[in-house]
Structure 1
Amino acid sequence: MGLFQNLPIVSFFLLLIFIISIPSTQATRIEILNNCSDTVWAATNPGGGKKLNHGETWNLTVTAYGNTTAGGRIWGRTNCAFGPDGLGKCESGDCGGLLECKIDGQSPNTVAVYLLNQTTDTDLFYVSVVEGFNIPIEFRPLSPKACSKASKCAEDVNGLCPMELRDPGGCNNPCTVFSNDQFCCFSGTSICEPTSYSMFFKDLCPEAFTYPFDVGQSNACPAGTDYKVVFCPSRSRSKTSSSDTNSTDKYNTANFDNRNNCNYTVWAAAVPGGGMLLNPGETWTFDVPADSGYGKAPNTLAEFALNQFNNLDFFDISLVDGFNVPMEFSPTSGGCRGIRCTADIKGQCPNELSAPGGCNM
C-alpha cells in the first residue's frame, strides 16, 4: 500500500505543494589552514574566529538557502591577546576586540572574499589587499577536479612596503593613511584609477584586488565546491601563460658570482641555490629565481629580492642572524653601488654573544 494512498486528493496536493516549497540548501565547507610559523587568529564575517597554531585547521561551513546567495570574508589576525571572556586586542586585523568576530577586520589585513551560489549556480572568490596586507593568503578549491582556479597573495609585501604605508601589523592601504578620494574612491565614480601604491601591491600580488575600482581576478567555480584558505602558502609564482609553449617565467632569474676572498676555505651556501666548498680565490656561479632564505645563526647574510616593484632588484647584508665571515655584495655589471661588512666583529664580539662559529645576535 502506497504512503499517500489513503490521503484525500486535496490533502495530497497541499502536501505536495508544501514539499516543493521547502527551500533547498547548499552547504559549502571552507578549510582554513595556518601554515605560518607563528600563531594566527583566524577570523570570518560571518562565522566568528579561532586561534590557530602552526599546522592547525579550522573547518567552516557556509550554507546558502534556496535561491539566496551567501557571502563573507576570511582573514588572519596577528599578535592577539584575549581573556577568558573572549575580549582582547590584535595588532592587525582586529575586529572590535572580539575573539569571535561580528564585524570586518581593521586595516591592514589581507582578505579572502567569497560569494557563493551566484547566478548560473556559480561561486565567486578572490583575495583582496584593498585594506592592506598583513599575512600571505591563498584561496583555492579543495578538489582540483571540480575547479582548478586559485587566488594568492604570498610575496614579501611587508618587507618591501613603502615607508609611508608601514604599520606595526603590516602594510597599510593608502586610503587608510591618506584618506582622500584619489585612494579611497569616495566619489564612487570610474574616475578612480590605479596609483603608484596600488601598482606596488599589484606587482607583488597580480591576482589580488588592489584598489576599490580594480579589475582584479575573481575566480569562478561551480556552486557546491569546497574551498581551502591557507595562511602563509608557498611563494612560487606563476608563468606568464601556461598555454604558450614559448612562455618563460614572469620573474627573471639572475646570475650570482660567489667568490671566496678569505685566506681560508669557506663552504658557500645559498637558498635557493645549494652549496659548494670554495678554497681561497675560488668562485661559484649560479642562477637563482626571485626568493631568499636563511642558514643557522651565527651567519653573515646576503639577502636579495629580484624583479620587485618598478622592476627593481633589492639586496642587502644582514647581521640579524649574527656574524661569521666578512662579506661584500655588489653588482658585477655596475650601475649601482655595492655594500660590505668587513670589520673584525668576531674579534670584538662581547663574551655573552661569542659562539664557536662567530658572534651571535
Structure 2
Amino acid sequence: MAVAWSCLLLVLLVWLSCIDRTGAAGATFTFVNSCGFTVWVGVQSNGGIALLAGGGFELAAGSKNAVSAPAGWGGRFWGRTGCNFDSSGQGKCETGDCGGVLKCGGTGGAPPASLAEITLDGANGDDFYDISLVDGYNLPLEMTPSGGTGVCGSPGCTYNLNDNCPQVLQVRSVQGSSISFSYSFLCVEL
C-alpha cells in the first residue's frame, strides 16, 4: 500500500487533569484519524490493568472514536497501517501488527510503531502522557488534552520522518515504498 503522509492520528485526552489532579477520575480518549486511509488502533494496557476497546479497533479515514478509561489506567496506543483482516478478525498489518489479529488483546505492536503512552493517577495522583518513538516510527501522532485543571502540553511527532529516513533504516511495503522508520538496525552487529 502506498501511504500518503499528509496525515495525523490525533489522540484527544478529554477530562485529563494532567498535573493538578484533585481526586481519582477516569478519562475519555478520542482518536481522530486525519489520514487519507484507514488506521487500525492497537491498545495495550499495563500489567494487571483493564484492557480498553478489546485491544484495538478500526478507524476509517476522517473518522473518530472515543474510548473511556477508568481511574488508574495506564498503557499505550499505536496506529497500525496496511491491515487486512477477515470476518473473524484474523489478518496482518504492514506496521504495528499485534499477532495477526484486529483486537490485540493485550499484545503489543511489532516495531516499528509510533506510540502514545498514558498513565492516569500515577505518582502523586498526577497523569502522565507522551509520544514515544522507542519502537520506531510509522505514523505522525499528536496528543491534545482537554478539560482538567493542570498546565498541559500537546506532545506530538507530526513531521513525516519517512521523508528523510536513511535507506538502511527504512521498512518497505510489499510494493517497495517506504512505510516506516526502524531503529532495529542500530542494535544489530555494532
> 1:26 — aligned with what?
25
> 2:20 — aligned with what?
none
| Distance across 2 between alignment mates of 1:136 and 1:79 | 15
> 2:180 — aligned with what?
170
* 1:145 CA drift (Å): 6.1
What TM-score results when the alignment is normalised by the length of structure 1? Answer: 0.40
Say which SS state the counterpart of residue 73 (structure 1) adopts.
Answer: strand
Counterpart residue identity of residue 185, structure 2? V
* 1:144 CA drift (Å): 7.6
> 1:80 — aligned with what?
83
| Aligned partner of 2:142 among 135, 138, 141 | 138
What TM-score results when the alignment is normalised by the length of structure 2? Answer: 0.74
| Distance across 1 between alignment mates of 2:148 and 2:160 | 27
| Distance across 2 between alignment mates of 1:140 and 1:162 | 30
Counterpart residue identity of residue 90, structure 1? C
C-alpha distance 145-35 of structure 1, shift in aligned 2 (>3 A): farther
* 1:181 CA drift (Å): 9.2
* 1:177 CA drift (Å): 1.9
| Distance across 2 between alignment mates of 1:72 and 1:113 | 6
| Aligned partner of 1:52 among 32, 36, 59 | 59
Note the alpha carbon deviations across 1:176-218, whole angstroms, 9 max, x for none: 2243597xxxxxxxxxxxxxxxxxxxxxxxxxxxxxxxxxxxx
> 1:35 — aligned with what?
34
Matched-pair contact (CA < 8 Å) for 1:25–1:63: no
- Corresponding position: 1:152 with 2:159: no
Matched-pair contact (CA < 8 Å) for 1:141–1:147: no
Counterpart residue identity of residue 129, structure 1? L
Matched-pair contact (CA < 8 Å) for 2:82–2:94: yes
| Distance across 1 between alignment mates of 2:37 and 2:114 | 16
Percentage of matched positions with identical amino acids:
31
* 1:139 CA drift (Å): 1.2
Matched-pair contact (CA < 8 Å) for 2:33–2:59: yes
* 1:119 CA drift (Å): 2.1
- Corresponding position: 1:71 with 2:74: yes
| Distance across 1 between alignment mates of 2:34 and 2:145 | 17
Task: Give RMSD over aligned pairs.
Answer: 2.0
> 1:179 — aligned with what?
187
- Corresponding position: 1:96 with 2:86: no
Matched-pair contact (CA < 8 Å) for 2:119–2:128: yes
Matched-pair contact (CA < 8 Å) for 1:33–1:57: yes
| Distance across 2 between alignment mates of 1:86 and 1:125 | 29
Counterpart residue identity of residue 117, structure 2? V
Say which SS state the counterpart of residue 110 (structure 2) adopts.
Answer: coil
Q: How does 1:222-301 map to 2 (within 5 A)?
A: none
Q: Which fold has the larger relative contact order, with Cα–Cα distance below 8 Å and residues 6 or more apart in sequence?
A: 2
Say which SS state the counterpart of residue 76 (structure 1) adopts.
Answer: strand
* 1:42 CA drift (Å): 1.2
* 1:152 CA drift (Å): 0.5
| Distance across 2 between alignment mates of 1:115 and 1:79 | 28
Rg (Cα) greater in structure: 1
Structure 2 unaligned spans of 5+: 1-22, 46-51, 173-178
* 1:57 CA drift (Å): 1.1
Matched-pair contact (CA < 8 Å) for 2:24–2:125: no
Structure 1 unaligned spans of 5+: 1-23, 183-361
| Distance across 2 between alignment mates of 1:144 and 1:163 | 43
Note the alpha carbon deviations across 1:263-296, whole angstroms, 9 max, x for none: xxxxxxxxxxxxxxxxxxxxxxxxxxxxxxxxxx
Counterpart residue identity of residue 43, structure 1? G
Matched-pair contact (CA < 8 Å) for 2:24–2:121: no
